DNA sequence: TATTGTTATACTCTATAACTATA
DNA sequence: TATAGTTATAGAGTATAACAATA
């Protein structure tokens, strides 16, 4: 018989609550730039490195189905923040890369998000944040930890 | 100028990914019982203590608008897992309480969720989990930390 | 007048299947 | 045949406004 525990002690519940609160805050911070949390994520990933990222890899990193990436890239491409170029080596792949304007917007967005996050993370002792980050990474990416564009794509567990 | 950081180092992003993965896993574990993560949360809270919980308090604890609680309670009430009784002291309040069957289902559900969670949390050192829980609580409930039914209702920050 | 619960509505996010083009 | 991207669609989650009952 399982011990009766409080919901507010459940890490899954706390993850959901914390994630929701932080995402709402980030969403408000990004609104003036016409970005949402998810398009912000795409823009960030498109701006890392210079070789570009495939949509498949975006999907794997963000934990989404590839079909959900299409509209996100469409939007950013229409606004001139990223380009979508077929990979010469394998024309099935489309490489997503941030434009100069995309890099500028990304930097602005990053500052706004950081500021919004600080409202929440200031409440956590600084040394705890590194450990928090480490623990979250192990939970979010159980198989292998993404470091940069070079590592193998990781898929969400079933 | 903000330093260029990797999205996969961003705690907000990691929170979202970790929360999503854990919630999906919990959702699958609860499916055989006809519960979702949110109805599970209501059932858990309705089963804590004997006095019952107001819908307002459920909303505050779960970080939802009170209007979103109605359908969740409706469903559980229809299935005989909780009761909805007007508070004699203030008939505006409706007290949500788990029935005997509700307690049985809650216990079964709790075990299933715990088992699903273990697949993720086993990867985190045990002593880190307590610190993780503590940090998440401070992020999720910045104002005051809910302990039981007795504490003041806490509202999500704007 | 203020508060609890309720209804209604619109929008976003999530999940899935089927299609195309390239390999 | 297998993989990357795309389209379409349905369902769940989220956010808001307005209303009735009670205080």
- Which tens digit of pLDDT belongs to each residue from A135-148? 999 999 887 655 54
Task: Check residue B84 and report its DSSP letter.
Answer: E
The answer on pLDDT for B119 being more than 90 is no
Cβ contact A133–B23 (<8 Å): no
| A111 shares contact with chain B (CB less than 8 Å) | yes
Instruction: State the nucleotide closest to B68 in CA–C1' terms.
Output: D14
User: Strand D: which bases are under 7 Å from protein Cβ?
Assistant: 3-8, 12-18, 21-23
Q: In chain B, which residues have their Cβ closer than 8 Å to the Cβ of A114? A: 2
Give the residue with minimal CA–C1' separation from C4. B92
Give the max Cα distance, chain A: 60
Domain boundaries, chain B: 35-129
Confirm or reject contact between A89 and chain B (CB < 8 A).
no
The reported pTM is 0.89
CATH of B35-129, one of 3.20.20.70, 1.10.10.10, 2.40.50.140, 3.40.50.360: 1.10.10.10
Mean pLDDT of B132-148: 79
- Whether B21 and A119 lie within 8 Å, measured CB to CB: no
Question: Is B156 in Cβ contact with A21 (below 8 Å)?
Answer: yes
Residue among A6, A35, A11 nearest A23 (CA): A35
Identity of the residue in A13, A41, A136 whose CB atom sits nearest the CB atom of B15: A136
Task: Name the nucleotide with the smallest C1'–CA separation from A23.
Answer: D14
Nearest to A136 among B4, B18, B137 (CB): B18
Contact B135, B124 (CB under 8 A): no
> CA–CA separation, A76 vs A11, rounded Å?
35
Tokens representing B137 are 């609580």
Q: Which residue has the higher pLDDT, A158 or A5?
A: A5
Quick check: B69 and B59 in contact, CB under 8 A?
yes
pLDDT tens-digit readout, B18-31: 999 999 999 999 99
């Amino acid at each position: 018989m399982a011990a009766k525990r409080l919901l507010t002690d459940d890490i899954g519940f706390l993850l959901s609550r914390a994630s929701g609160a932080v995402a709402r805050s980030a969403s408000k911070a990004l609104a003036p730039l016409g970005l949402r949390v998810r398009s912000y994520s795409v823009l960030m990933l498109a701006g890392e490195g210079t070789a570009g990222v495939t949509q498949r890899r975006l999907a794997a990193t963000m934990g989404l189905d590839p079909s959900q990436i299409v509209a996100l890239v469409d939007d950013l491409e229409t606004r001139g923040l990223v380009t979508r170029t077929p990979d010469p080596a394998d024309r099935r792949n489309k490489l997503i890369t941030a434009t100069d304007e995309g890099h500028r917007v990304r930097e602005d967005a990053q500052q706004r998000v950081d500021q919004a996050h600080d409202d929440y993370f200031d409440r956590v002792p600084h040394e705890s944040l590194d450990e928090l980050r480490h623990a979250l990474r192990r939970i979010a990416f159980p198989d292998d930890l993404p470091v940069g564009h070079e590592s193998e794509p990781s898929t969400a567990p079933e």
